[in-house]
Structure 1
Amino acid sequence: MTRKLKVGLIGVGRQGHNHYENLLTMPDVDLQYICDLKVDDEWKKEYANVPHVVKDYHEVLDDPEIEAVLIVTSTDTHAGIVLDAAKAHKHIFCEKPFSLTTPESEVREILKIVDANHLKLQMGFNRRMDPQFRDIYERVRKGVIGSPQIVKTTSRDPFVLDKELIKRVGTLPFDFTIHDLDMVRYMMGSNITEIYAKGGTLIDPTLKEIDDVDTIALVLEFENGSFGLIDNSRQAVYGYDERVEVFGSEGMLKAENVSNSTVELYTDKQEEKKNPLPIFMSRYHEAYLNEIHSFVGAVIEDKPVVANGVDAIMAQRAAIAVDQSIKLGKPIKVDPTFEL
C-alpha cells in the first residue's frame, strides 16, 4: 500500500484552489488542512471533505502529523511562511517567486535552515513539468541538437491583470517574466550572466502608476557563452501564447502553442488553425499536476526536487536585473555563482 503524505494547503485563492483540486486526485496525498485568511463558515461547508479548515497557518505548522505544506499565498508572504515552515520541520512546496523584497542574504539564511533540517523545498516553476517543454529539455540533455547556442521563449497573457492584484503578486518581471528566466536557464543548463531589457506600456499606460510595464523584450547571455531571447506581453487577444525554441549546432527543438484542436484547414481560399488555449490554468493543467506529483514523490522517496531554492534565487536575480535594465536603459550583469 502506498504511503500517504499528510499535507496542509496554505492559501486557497485562484491558484490555491487549482492545487486543491489536483491534490484530491492523488492517492498518495492525505489533505488534512485548508488554510486561508478568508476562511469562514461558508468555507467550512465548501471544504467539508477536509478535516481542518483554518485561518491561521501556524495551526497547520503546529500539527505534528503534517509532513508537508503547500504555500500558495500572495507573493509578499512567501519568505516568512517558508521560514516558519522550515523551523517547524515541514517539507515545503512554494509558489514562485520566493519573495518580492526579501534581500538575498535573508533568503540564503532561510535556505540554510531548510538544508540543516533535511527538508525538501520545491519552487512552483511549473513550466519545467510541462510535457512538451520537458521533452525539449531531455532531448537537449541527450545532445540531439548538439551544443545549444540560442534559446527563445515567448509568453503572452490573454489580458492585463488588475492593478491591485499586480501589487500583491508582483510586476511583469517578477510575476511573469520570472517563469521565462527560469525556463531559458533550465533549457540552456547554464546560469545567466547578463541581461539587456526593454520594457514599455504599449497596452495600458496606467501601469506606469504602479511602476510596471506590459511589454518586454530581452537579450540574455549565459555563462557558457550562449544567448537567450525572451518576449512577453500582458495582452494577446487570441489566447495564452506560450512557445519555446532551442537552437543548437546540429539542429533545433521547438514547442508550439497548445489548442483545443490539432485540426488545420487549408484550401485555395483560406487557411484555418485553432487559437491557443485561453488561460494558463488550462494550458498548464498537466504541468500543475506533474509538479505536485514530483514534489510528493521527492518527499516520500527522498529524491531531489525539480526546482529548488537556488533556482528561485537565480530567477529572482535575473528578474531584478530585468527591472534595473529597463529603468537604466543598459545591460545589467548577473552573478552566476551561489553557495549556501
Structure 2
Amino acid sequence: MEKVYAGIIGLGRAGQMHLKNLLTISDIEIVQVADVFIENVSEKLNALGITNQTKDYHELLSNPKINTVFIFTSTDTHEEIVTAAAKAGKNIFCEKPLSMNTDEQASIKVLQEVKKAGVSLQIGFNRRMDPQFRAVHENIQNGKIGTPQMVKITSRDPDVLPHELIKRIGGLLFDFTMHDFDIARYMMHSNISEVYAKGGTLIDPTLKDINDIDTLALVLQFENGTYGLIDNSRRAVYGYDQRVEVFGSEGMLKAENVSGSTVELYNSKRTELSNPLPVFQERYRPAYIAEMKAFVKSLLLNKPVVAEGLDVIMAQRAASAAQKSLETGLPQKVDASYPLI
C-alpha cells in the first residue's frame, strides 16, 4: 500500500478528536466521513475541507477509493460495522472494545470475518502508545527491574458520564477498566487467569438504575503467577488520574500523572504542584496520534499492528469475569488461552 485513503465512521466526541489528529498525518487522505447525525457536524467538517459526507456508513464502505476505515462509533455498533468493513475489503481501526456483551462468541465471529477477508485490524488501546507507559514497558523488556511480580494501576475519571452515553459505550468495566486490563497484560506479558472485583456506587447511586458502578477495586492473577491491582473511580475532583507502577525482583518502574506544568513550589508552609490534566483528550493526545501513526506504518510496511483483535478478546474476558465477580462476591477464573480464530 502506498497511501492510506481513509473513511471515518462516527463523529461524536471521540470521533471529532480523532479526526483532528488524523488530519495531522501526511500519509492519510480522508476521502469520506459518515455519521448518523452528520448534520450536527457538517459545518465543522466543511471548515476543515471535508465535504464528502454521508449519514449511511454503508455508502462509505462502497466507495472504491477507500482502503481503510476508522471506526469511532459507540461500542454497541462495533461488531456490526467491523464485520461490514471486513466484508467490504477495508483495513480497519476500531476503538475498543468490540463488544460489551459477556458472551465473546459474537466478537470471535467478527475476528474470523477479518481473517477471512485478509485485512488488518487494529484495536484502539491507545495507552500502549503513551510515551510514559511505553517507556515503562520498554524498560521492563530490557530487564531494568528484573522479573516483574506486581502491577498497580490507578485510573480515575474527572466526573461521571451521562447515563445515556454509558448505556451505549458500556459500563465502567467495559468502557473504562477495559484499558486497564489491556495495560496490565501489556506490562506483565502474561494473560489474566483470575479476577476478584469489589465495587459500588459511592458517587452516584442512580447508576444502579443502569446496572453500573462508579468505584471499583480489582485483584488480578496472571497465568505466570504474578499479580495486579487496579483501582477505578468515576470522579477525581483534582483531575484525570492515570498512574502505573510495576514492581519486580530487581526494582520498580513508575509512571506518574501528567500535569500542565512541571513547576513545583516548596516552602516552610506548604508544597504546591499542578493538578493532573483535566480530561482524557489532553492527557492522551500524544498516545492517540502515535497509535494512528503506528497503524498507518503497519499498513504501509505490511507490519503487525500494535494491538490486534485477540488483545481485545482477552481484555473483554477479564471484564466479563470482573462483572461476574461483582455479582457473586467471589473470585472468577479467566480463560488465559487464546481462542482459535
Q: TM-score, normalised by structure 1?
A: 0.97
Question: 1:116 deviation in Å?
Answer: 2.4
Percent pairwise identity: 57
Contact 1:79 1:102 in 2 (8 A): no
| Paired residues for 1:40-189 under 5 Å | 40=39, 43-48=41-46, 49-101=49-101, 103-189=103-189
Contact 1:4 1:27 in 2 (8 A): no
**Equivalent position of 2:191 in the other structure:** 191
Question: 1:46 deviation in Å?
Answer: 2.5
| Paired residues for 1:200-219 under 5 Å | 200-219=200-219
Contact 1:193 1:333 in 2 (8 A): yes
**Equivalent position of 1:288 in the other structure:** 288
| SS class of match (1:228) | strand
Please identify, of 105-114 and 205-214, the stretch whose mean Cα deviation from structure 2 is larger. Answer: 105-114
**CA distance in 1 between partners of 2:201 and 2:36 (Å):** 33
Matched residue type, 1:39: I
Contact 2:31 2:65 in 1 (8 A): no
Structure 1 gaps of 5+ residues are none
| SS class of match (1:110) | helix
Question: 1:43 deviation in Å?
Answer: 3.7
**CA distance in 1 between partners of 2:104 and 2:272 (Å):** 49
**Equivalent position of 2:11 in the other structure:** 12
Matched residue type, 2:161: L
**CA distance in 1 between partners of 2:97 and 2:87 (Å):** 20
**Equivalent position of 2:37 in the other structure:** 38
Question: 1:105 deviation in Å?
Answer: 1.9
Question: 1:88 deviation in Å?
Answer: 0.5
**1:259 is aligned to 2:265:** no
Contact 1:91 1:121 in 2 (8 A): yes
Matched residue type, 1:94: C
Matched residue type, 2:303: K
**CA distance in 1 between partners of 2:152 and 2:92 (Å):** 31
**1:28 is aligned to 2:27:** yes
**CA distance in 1 between partners of 2:2 and 2:67 (Å):** 12
Q: How many residues align?
A: 338
Matched residue type, 2:60: V
Matched residue type, 2:37: K
Matched residue type, 1:65: K
**Equivalent position of 1:315 in the other structure:** 315
| SS class of match (1:25) | coil
**Equivalent position of 1:328 in the other structure:** 328
Contact 2:102 2:317 in 1 (8 A): no
Question: 1:102 deviation in Å?
Answer: 7.4
Question: 1:44 deviation in Å?
Answer: 3.5
Contact 1:133 1:255 in 2 (8 A): yes
Please identify, of 148-157 and 298-307, the stretch whose mean Cα deviation from structure 2 is larger. Answer: 298-307
**CA distance in 1 between partners of 2:102 and 2:13 (Å):** 24
| SS class of match (1:47) | helix
Matched residue type, 1:245: E
Write out the 4+ residue segments of structure 1 that deviate beyond 4 Å after TM superposition: none
Matched residue type, 2:35: D
Aligned-residue Cα RMSD (Å) equals: 1.2
Contact 2:11 2:41 in 1 (8 A): no
Please identify, of 262-271 and 225-234, the stretch whose mean Cα deviation from structure 2 is larger. Answer: 262-271
**CA distance in 2 between partners of 1:99 and 1:90 (Å):** 20
Question: 1:117 deviation in Å?
Answer: 2.1
| SS class of match (2:232) | strand
Question: 1:250 deviation in Å?
Answer: 0.3
Q: TM-score, normalised by structure 2?
A: 0.97
Matched residue type, 2:123: M
